[in-house]
Amino acid sequence: MVTFVDRVTLHLRAGKGGNGCVSVRREKFKPLAGPDGGNGGSGGDIVLVADPQVTTLLSYHHSPHRSAGNGGFGMGDNRSGAAGEPIDLPVPVGTVVKDPDGSVLVDLVEPGMRFVVAPGGQGGLGNAALASPKRKAPGFALLGTPGWEGDVVLELKTVADVALVGFPSAGKSSLIAAISAARPKIAEYPFTTLHPNLGVVQAGDIRFTVADVPGLIEGASEGKGLGLQFLRHVERCTALVHVLDCATLDPGRDPLSDLDVILAELAAYPVPEGQVPLLERPQLIALNKLDVPEAKDLADLVRPELEARGYRVFDISTVSHAGLRELTFALGGIIDEHRAASADAAPPERIVIRPRGSERDFTVRVEGGTYGNIYRILGDKPVRWVQQTDFQNDEAVGFLADRLERLGVEDELYRAGAVAGATVVIGEGDGVVFDWQPSLSSAAELMTAPRGTDPRFDASTRRTTSQRRERYHERMDAKADARAELEAERLAASGEDDS
């Protein structure tokens, strides 16, 4: 049974925004007292919250599908729809949120941090909110937009001050149990520890956390064993303690060769940009299991070599607790110096959000098609406006055309070479396809028409100048022919009388 999970993929669906309402207020003696349709409610957000009480992503491993509530529809009498119910997803401190492509969205390293990973859809405006002095009684409302839907990857990286690294069965779990109140599983076989264990250590006035990283083997940085899964938990640690087994019975193994293998794996593991490489961090050596007589002799043999490499070496025994006090106080000193240096460091640069001003909110991309060029309009605003439009309502479609014209889409299409009848697509993929008619860019708000209609979509019955001229000439020719026929009949009749 899985008891620890540090990487999951969530399938999220935020709430959809509610549709606006089309309604007209009716009072006594005032059957049409003006629009009073309310707005739709916004969809619920999905928020990730860094919770110190959560230590694993196990719950999301079993239930990766999460969705928020939809917004309610607007109603008459200016009643707005209810907002969708948001949901908070608690995650461990140190969780990194990535998109499916691996790009980091946010790093939740502080308790209480909140990140809206899936924003809810926007509620549509009712016809009361759309009314203006020029459009007094709109016969349409805006639809709610869909909420964000997609996948995100949660990756847990343990936040600890010290990481205990070493081969399987080197005694790391026993060490963290001896110096803290942690009670990890301990057994006499390799890979007993299947997930990192955290313990809090008190060394004088200094308190710090220690992470027991599960055993590493040669090739761990290339994915062998569980190396890649657990090496990420070393990234955030300030100092490393190499726990070397001086009582191993495996042939071909000794503390020096074990240390070389672990150092090679740590050097091969890439840390994120801006972090100190693992081998450049403070490192201590703990020669473990010295309660065994043969281990004591081996420790005396390898200690000079380790000290010659520049390491501080501590002889310890997790059974008799020998040397643990010296080790914890040495680690406390390293952590205290690091915290003092971090306090003196310059604070992180404050993020300043500035308005974009007159920056364009869309782009027009020309794509070649089988039957000619396709002009694709991309941008948050045009796509959102299309989602809000009820294409069964001509007035709503005219309102969309006016919004796009005011945004400058009309001029940009002209610059891109579009002509009347060109195929225009709004949004990626299939999007919304229509034949562009520049005449739709006139101001519909100045026109009067029944609610829910737009006269620009009606076929024009007014004749053009050439049609009127042609009709005039036809009438004149018909009159001339009639006069000629009458004249011929008169002449024929007069000739008969003379005879």
Q: Is 94 annotated as a binding residue?
A: no
Contacts of 11 (CB under 8 A, 6+ apart): 64, 65, 66, 150, 151
pLDDT for res 146: 94
Q: Is 411 annotated as a binding residue?
A: no
Please check whether residue 246 is in contact with residue 289, taking contact to mean a CB–CB distance below 8 angstroms: yes
Closest CA to 155 of 246, 57, 58, 63: 57
Report whether 197 belongs to an annotated binding site. Answer: no
> Is 317 annotated to bind ligand?
yes
Is 39 marked within a binding site?
no
* DSSP secondary structure letter of residue 264: H
The β-bridge partners of 66 are: 12
242 is in an annotated binding site: no
The response to whether 291 counts as a known ligand-binding position is yes
Q: Could you tell me the two tokens for 146?
A: 């869909």
Q: What is the pLDDT of residues 140-153, one digit of tens each?
A: 999 999 999 999 99
Q: Is 16 annotated as a binding residue?
A: no
The per-residue pLDDT of the chain, averaged, comes to: 81
The answer to whether the Cα torsion of 296, 297, 302, 303 is positive or negative is positive
- Read off the tokens for 264: 């090679």
% of the chain exceeding 90 in pLDDT:
23
Distance spanning both ends of the chain, measured CA to CA: 128
63 is in an annotated binding site: no
Strands 104-108 and 95-98, sheet pairing = antiparallel
Residue 7: count of CB within 10 angstroms of its CB: 15
Query: Binding site annotation covers 132?
Result: no
User: Would you say 173 is a known binding-site residue?
Assistant: yes
∠ CA 69-56-154, rounded to 5°: 60
Return the axis-axis angle of helices 380-387 and 394-407, rounded to nearest 10°: 170
Contact 34, 131 (CB under 8 A): yes
172 is in an annotated binding site: yes
CB atoms inside a 10 Å sphere around CB 338: 16
What is the rounded CA–CA span in Å between residue 484 and residue 490?
A: 10
Residue with tokens 């439009």: 389
Q: What is the pLDDT of residue 456?
A: 58
At 462 the pLDDT is 62
> What per-residue confidence (pLDDT) applies to 466?
78
Residue 194 annotated as binding site: yes
Residue 140 and residue 44: Cα distance in Å, rounded? Answer: 25
d(CA 299, CA 247): 9
Burial of residue 453, with CB atoms counted within 10 A of its CB: 0-12 exposed, 13-18 middle, 19 or more buried: middle
Amino acid identity, position 378:
L
| Annotated binding-site residue? 363 | no
- Which DSSP category does 395 fall into? H
For residue 353, give the amino acid letter.
I
Q: Binding residue per annotation — 295?
A: no
The span from the CA of 17 to the CA of 120, in Å, is 7
191 is in an annotated binding site: yes
Q: How much is the pLDDT for 490? A: 83
**157 is known to lie in a ligand binding site:** no
What are the per-10-residue average pLDDT scores of the chain (499 residues)? 70 95 85 87 95 84 93 93 94 89 87 92 93 87 94 85 82 83 52 61 87 61 47 81 82 82 82 80 89 84 90 88 90 89 66 57 82 85 91 88 87 86 85 75 49 59 74 86 86 70
Residue 104, annotated ligand binder? no
Q: Are 40 and 18 in contact (CB under 8 A)?
A: yes
Q: Is 169 annotated as a binding residue?
A: yes
174 annotated ligand-binding residue? no
pLDDT at 157: 80
Asked if residue 259 belongs to a known ligand binding site, the reply is no
Residue 200, Cβ neighbours under 10 Å: how many? 14
DSSP track, 71-124: PPPPBTTTBPPPPPPPEEEEE-TTEEEE-TTS-EEEEE-STT-EEEEEPPPPPP
Residue 168 annotated as part of some ligand binding site: yes
Task: Output the six-digit token pair for 115.
Answer: 């990140």
Other beta carbons within 10 angstroms of residue 397's beta carbon come to 20
289 marked as binding residue: yes
Q: Is the pTM of this model over 0.85?
A: no
How many angstroms separate the Cα of 82 from the Cα of each of 39, 56, 68, 72, 87? 9, 34, 13, 5, 15
Residue whose entry in the numeric block shows the structure tokens 């495996």 = 250
